[in-house]
């Protein structure tokens, strides 16, 4: 009976895709959960090596893609298209390749406790918690509280792979068993001042303001509480010797000790270093050797819409998803070399998946970066809001263009790039999906639902 139900649900997905309703990344899952509410439990228990789950505010999709890259010798069940709610998880499990032995699934932060309860994962990766979509997730502390309860109920042998540089997460995980701590240990790439949007900078134990010897991203860094002594745990997997001077790549070493396992990633930025070492630590927790992991990461290509380079004739559109202040700050820092003198497209949507509240754009430190661009094109359902933000960031009114139509805005930005030039495109989540649909229609990229690796 269950077999029939899964067949029906898969057929529903095919129909949805044929009907032109997008990737069908959630329809099969929604169908099977209606027919068999315990489908996630049943389907996931069939994977002989079990399931690992990844969650974070930022970096889920990229870290998942990096982990499957590291596990290249296994057939993997994964949700590469980023559908990470219960329905997306069920869809991914339904589409499990016949030879798959292990599941590598990204999970929405709010859905994580429920998914953990259903799949009894072998390992979970907790990457970071940043301020994000308050209208949808509520306050950070609320989400952290739910994760704490989830950790309290976790099966005793579950591995917890966690970013030691996030004090909020360290506070949740410290003292538990089977923990793998990863983080960055290279003060040369650290900053001494926090971004305006930094949250969780007070001690999770005693609320004193934390002091940092290095700040790497948002509130992630090497911290210590001057009052109670709470400090970043010792790192099991560390990134060192980081070189962020390349425009389209970043290199570093990864391992417990210095000098081990050199990696050059074909995507830049500190956040990708975090994603990569998270993937190494997670793969390590299920038996992958760090030297193999490092070698395979050198072959990694960007996940869709995450520092994705799209060739359009003789020019390039550089697509970088931005969805919250911490991610946007880091994206701006990372694209800065490509932004100088180039056209920029900011595409701000306020659909449910983006968050209906666009206030967050005022928390982004746009100020030093937007004036680098030659022109700022603005699009999306809240185009005027992001245009206004650009104006207050010092971009002259004459260099701001507000568009009603996303495709027209994209064309204008690419056109302005000039021969051999690049346009930098920073879209929110649904704007990124729309943009990819536009370029996919023109045959320039593969549709996102076919990005399985």
Partner 1 sequence: MITIVPVYPQLLSIYADRGNVIVLEQRARWREIDVAVHPIAVGDDLDAANADIILIGGGQDRDQALVADELRRQTPALRSAIADGAALLAVCGGFQLLGHRYRGHQGDEMIGTGLVDLETEAGDGRLIGNVLVEATVNGMRHDLVGFENHAGRTTLGSNVAPLGRVIAGGGNNGLDGLEGCLDGRVVGTYIHGPLLPKNPWLADQLLAWALDRHGVTTSLEPLDDRLAHLAAARAADLARR
Task: Write the Ramachandran bin of 120: left for phi over 0, alpha for psi from -120 to 50, otherwise beta.
Answer: left
Residue 148 or 356 with smaller CB distance to partner 1:
356
Which residues bind to partner 1, rule: CB under 8 A?
131, 134-135, 139-141, 196-197, 199, 201, 207, 209, 325, 350, 356-363, 382, 384-385, 387-389, 391-392, 397, 400, 402
Residue 27 or 168 with smaller CB distance to partner 1:
168
Minimum distance, C-beta of residue 381 to partner 1, in the bound complex (Å):
8
Residue 137 or 429 with smaller CB distance to partner 1:
137
Minimum distance, C-beta of residue 369 to partner 1, in the bound complex (Å):
15
Residue 213 or 359 with smaller CB distance to partner 1:
359
SS3 (DSSP) at 76: strand
Minimum distance, C-beta of residue 181 to partner 1, in the bound complex (Å):
25
Residue 338 or 389 with smaller CB distance to partner 1:
389
Q: CB under 8 Å to 374, separation ≥6 — which residues?
A: 341, 342, 343, 399, 416
Q: Please give the C-alpha separations between residue 431 and each of 23, 380, 406, in angstroms, as whole numbers.
A: 16, 7, 8
Minimum distance, C-beta of residue 182 to partner 1, in the bound complex (Å):
27
Residue 185 or 354 with smaller CB distance to partner 1:
354
Compute the C-alpha angle 376/380/386, nearest 5°: 50
Beta carbons of 103 and 43 less than 8 angstroms apart: no
Reported for 40-45, long-range contacts at CB under 8 A and 24+ positions apart, including other chains, are 40/86, 40/89, 40/90, 40/93, 40/115, 40/118, 40/119, 41/118, 41/119, 42/2, 43/6, 43/90, 43/93, 43/94, 43/96, 44/93, 44/103, 44/118, 44/119, 44/120
Residue 23 or 325 with smaller CB distance to partner 1:
325
Minimum distance, C-beta of residue 385 to partner 1, in the bound complex (Å):
5
Beta carbons of 348 and 383 less than 8 angstroms apart: yes
Minimum distance, C-beta of residue 327 to partner 1, in the bound complex (Å):
14
**Residue in the structure block whose two tokens are 């599941």:** 103
Minimum distance, C-beta of residue 224 to partner 1, in the bound complex (Å):
18
Residue 12 or 140 with smaller CB distance to partner 1:
140
- From the CB of residue 246, how many other CB atoms can be counted at a distance below 10 Å? 13
SS3 (DSSP) at 81: coil
Maximum C-alpha span of the chain: 64
- From the CB of residue 295, how many other CB atoms can be counted at a distance below 10 Å? 14
Minimum distance, C-beta of residue 365 to partner 1, in the bound complex (Å):
9
Residue 275 or 324 with smaller CB distance to partner 1:
324
Minimum distance, C-beta of residue 324 to partner 1, in the bound complex (Å):
11
Q: Please give the C-alpha separations between residue 230 and each of 211, 285, 376, in angstroms, as whole numbers.
A: 11, 25, 44
Neighbour-count burial of 209, counting CB atoms closer than 10 A to its CB (0-12 exposed, 13-18 middle, 19+ buried)? exposed
């Amino acid at each position: 009976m269950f077999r029939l139900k899964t067949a029906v649900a898969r057929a529903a997905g095919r129909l949805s895709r044929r009907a032109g309703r997008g990737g069908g990344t959630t329809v099969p899952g929604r169908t099977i959960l209606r027919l068999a509410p315990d489908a996630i439990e049943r389907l996931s228990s069939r994977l002989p090596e079990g399931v690992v789950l990844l969650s974070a505010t930022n970096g889920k999709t990229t870290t998942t893609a990096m982990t499957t890259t590291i596990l290249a010798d296994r057939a993997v069940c994964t949700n590469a298209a980023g559908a990470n709610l219960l329905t997306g998880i069920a869809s991914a499990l339904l589409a499990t390749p016949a030879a798959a032995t292990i599941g590598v699934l990204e999970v929405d932060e709010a859905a994580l406790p429920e998914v953990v309860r259903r799949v009894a994962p072998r390992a979970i990766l907790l990457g970071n918690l940043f301020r994000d979509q308050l209208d949808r997730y509520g306050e950070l502390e609320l989400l952290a509280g739910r994760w704490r309860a989830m950790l309290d109920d976790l099966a005793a042998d579950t591995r917890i792979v966690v970013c030691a540089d996030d004090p909020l997460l360290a506070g949740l995980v410290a003292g538990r068993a089977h923990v793998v701590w990863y983080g960055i240990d290279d003060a040369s790439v650290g900053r001494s001042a926090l971004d305006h949007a930094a949250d969780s900078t007070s001690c999770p134990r005693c609320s004193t303001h934390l002091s940092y010897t290095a700040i790497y991203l948002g509130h992630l860094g090497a911290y210590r509480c001057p009052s109670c002594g709470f400090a970043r745990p010792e790192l099991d997997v560390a990134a060192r010797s980081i070189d962020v001077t390349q425009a389209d790549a970043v290199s570093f070493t990864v391992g417990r000790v210095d000098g081990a396992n050199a990696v050059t990633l074909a995507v830049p930025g500190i956040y990708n270093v975090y994603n990569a070492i998270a993937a190494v630590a997670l793969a390590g927790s299920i038996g992958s050797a760090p030297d193999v992991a490092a070698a395979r990461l050198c072959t990694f290509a960007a996940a869709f819409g995450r520092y994705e380079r799209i060739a359009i004739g003789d020019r390039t559109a550089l697509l970088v998803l931005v969805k919250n202040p911490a991610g946007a700050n880091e994206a701006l820092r990372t694209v800065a070399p490509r932004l100088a003198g180039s056209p920029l497209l900011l595409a701000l949507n306020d659909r449910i998946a983006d968050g209906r509240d666009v206030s967050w754009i005022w928390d982004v430190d746009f100020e030093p970066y937007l004036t680098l661009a030659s022109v700022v094109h603005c699009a999306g359902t809240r185009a005027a809001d992001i245009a206004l933000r650009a104006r207050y960031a010092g971009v002259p009114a004459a260099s701001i263009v507000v568009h009603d139509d996303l495709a027209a805005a994209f064309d204008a930005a690419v056109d302005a790039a000039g021969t051999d030039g690049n346009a930098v495109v920073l879209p929110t989540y649904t704007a990124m999906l729309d943009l990819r649909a536009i370029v996919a229609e023109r045959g320039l990229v593969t549709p996102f639902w076919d990005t399985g690796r």
